[in-house]
A and B are shown apart, each in its own frame.
Chain A
Amino acid sequence: MEIFKAVYINEIFKISKKKKITAALIFSALSVIVLAIVVYSLNNFAGIRVTGSSEFSIMVLTILSYSIFPLFTTFICIDMFAGEFADHTIKVTLTGPASRIKVFLGKVLTVATFIIGNLVFVMVLSVIASLFINRNIPNLFKIIISYIMAFMPIFIFALIVILISNITKGTTSAFMLSIFMFLVFNGLNLVFPQIKSFLFTSTFDWYRLILGNYINFSKILRIFLILLGYGIMLIAAGYYLFEKKDI
């Protein structure tokens, strides 16, 4: 456990030094500010209230779930896997006392930490912004649950990117393939809605299930299990490839 903790701290330290983290935070903050200005202007100049106080944070979540969150998650995952293999820095980690499984899980946990951090940052910022748009106090409970739920599909996407990073040789191909996969899954979702239960991208807005007066718990459970299945499968496959990958 000590070794695992050390691997995790090491990985967190490594990504904290990356400029991409700063970029992710800047872009996330900018997105929230721009959206707040748009919503505020629409209300003041056109009289149309796009969102109420609670809905602003949810609207930000909906938009960023399809843009900033998966994009920067892709960058971080590729850097941590394909990037380190490409510039051979992975040697330092793998030649240490930690086994490959611990290194792999440490990296996966770091990615999860990054996603959580990004979500928390956006949530706090959007809640503050929503106070300026509407003077009503937002429903914090629903917002927090929504952001927690939004973590799962983004994390599944991160695992797919990790899998791709362990297959491809370079970072560019890993990035292109990840974006391609994201678009294909979203495209399939639109063209064949009948198979969307199999597509993790259809769950990107599953937090809407808890927003209404009627909460369909069985549906929430089914989606949770689908995402859990994806998670176990992708971690197993990702680890298998990571283990086999030559330095």
Chain B
Amino acid sequence: MRFSKKTATICAFVLGATILATSAFADIMIGSGYYSLKNSMKTTMAKLTSEVDNFSADATISLKIDGKVFAESTSNAKFDIKNKAKESMDNNFRKGELRENYWYSDENQSIYKNFDDGSYDVFEKRKYNNETNRIIENPLEDEQVKDAEKILDAFVGSLQDAIQVEESAGKKMYVGNLSETQIPSVVNAISSFIFKYSILDEWSAKNLDVPHPKSNIYLTKATGKAIENEDGIIESAIFTASMSAQDSKGIEHIYSLDFSIDIKDVNSTIVKAPNLDGKKVTYSKEGYEFDSKYIGKYKNDIVKEEDNSFEKVGERFIEITSVENGNVKGKYYEVYNAGYEADIVRSFDFYSNYDESIHFTIIHYTNDKGEKKKGIIHRTGSQNINVSFNVTIDEDNDGYSYSNNEDGFDNTFIRIFE
């Protein structure tokens, strides 16, 4: 049986298309270790930040030179998502010295331990309106992280297949092993540059008393291992990256970073405030910028520049008349010297509402035109204050800023002791 040229060509085309389609679909279905690890990380973060009631996390990060640890931090943290409490015991080892750190925090208080004398500092927390904050936010929900993920997906290329997945007894193990040859040159060059000039620059190396990486810097390997449990949570992960570099004497050193994390006791972790009975404790209230000691009079000079010299033309006064639970009340007025009377001499009362902002003490006043305006008042030095009037406040969850719309106004007011 002989096929015509056309039939044979069509058959070959169909055969090629079939091989291509089935292989490509199979490839998509099988996916890669990279994508499955990424999904596993997302599931873990989503579950830990919102689904589970509580958990513990032990993390260690250590920096080694030629296998010898020169800096290490360990953190044993406990999180009670349901009751919004967390506790952490940290140890920092640096330059042969071990430093301990302990803190506890819940909705009402934060407790810090001073390891020098065994005393505790307790800060009573300020209550905010409409507070819905979770004790840990899911970092993977952040817009920036999502965009970074897309960029990483696009550029990871064939490296995504360097992650191997093994399954046994309901658990999944992800193993990744990047050797010197696999690490793309750009990644190698950028990381070497950052390592030399930012992470371990000459100053930090001297400060830490370690050899400064000077030449022939390159990433030698990056390995990682993660274990996902039956619930889809990554219960442990280890990551190691090593760089090789020569110091100023031409001696080669291997700098390595080891990071490990264990997530454990999910839904069986108890977070409890430390027992402070019989301990030396210092109590303070968090968030009250002003208290009664700030009641008083403050002033600064109104100065004019004339014939290349400064001339005092009057004074500005702030009088804080009352401070109750962080609410400040007072007045502002200007007094001009004889012969320098201004067209508008400002004088008004102001007040602040403590709950209005968590970042500022915002004051409200009515200006000479009868317009309602806002200002900011805050402490400066120990007894002085800084005041800005006519400000635009731009405040959101992540930050705050304000712009002052007043020229030639001296913001610093000095306390008058009479």
Q: What is A's interface to B at a CB cutoff of 8 Å?
A: 42-44, 46-52, 54-55, 58-59, 62, 101, 139, 142, 189-191, 193-195, 197-198, 202, 205-209, 211-214, 216, 218-219, 222-223, 225-226, 228-237, 239-240, 243
Contact = CB atoms under 8 A, between A and B. Distances in A.
A58 B192 CA distance: 19
B184 interface: yes
13 contacts: A42-B189, A46-B193, A47-B214, A47-B216, A62-B184, A101-B5, A193-B153, A211-B179, A212-B182, A214-B164, A232-B19, A233-B20, A235-B12
A231 to B, nearest CB: 7
B242 to A, nearest CB: 14
Nearest to A199: B24
A221 to B, nearest CB: 9
A206 B157 CA distance: 8
Chain B, interface residues (CB within 8 Å), range: 35 or more
Given A52-B181, A232-B19, A240-B13, 20 more contacts: A47-B196, A47-B213, A48-B189, A50-B185, A55-B185, A58-B181, A189-B154, A208-B158, A208-B159, A208-B162, A212-B162, A218-B30, A225-B22, A232-B12, A234-B16, A235-B12, A236-B9, A236-B10, A236-B12, A240-B9
B177 interface: yes
B158 A206 contact: yes
Contacts, number: 151
B298 to A, nearest CB: 54
Interface of B: 5-6, 9-10, 12-13, 15-28, 30, 32, 153-154, 157-159, 161-162, 164, 175, 177-185, 188-189, 192-193, 196, 213-218, 245-246
Given A47-B216, A48-B217, A211 B12 contact: no
Given A49-B218, A62-B185, A208-B158, A236 B193 contact: no
Contacts of B183: 55
A52 B218 contact: yes
- Specify which of B5, B27, B164, B188 lies most central, judged by the most chain A CB atoms within 10 Å of its CB: B27
Contacts of B27: 197, 219, 222-223, 226
Nearest to A193: B153
B157 A236 contact: no
A206 to B, nearest CB: 6
Contact of B215 (A47, A208, A228): A47
Q: Is the interface of B mostly helix, strand, loop or mixed?
A: helix
B16 A231 contact: yes
Q: Which 6 A-B pairs have the closest CB atoms?
A: A229-B20, A233-B16, A232-B16, A229-B19, A47-B215, A236-B12
Q: Is the interface of A mostly helix, strand, loop or mixed?
A: helix
A185 B76 CA distance: 48
B166 to A, nearest CB: 11
A230 B34 CA distance: 26
B77 to A, nearest CB: 33
A62 B24 CA distance: 23
B181 A55 contact: yes
Given A43-B215, A202-B157, A229-B23, A213 B189 contact: no
A83 B5 CA distance: 25
A205 B25 CA distance: 20
A136 to B, nearest CB: 11
Contacts of B196: 46-48
B89 to A, nearest CB: 37
Contact of A139 (B16, B181, B216): B181
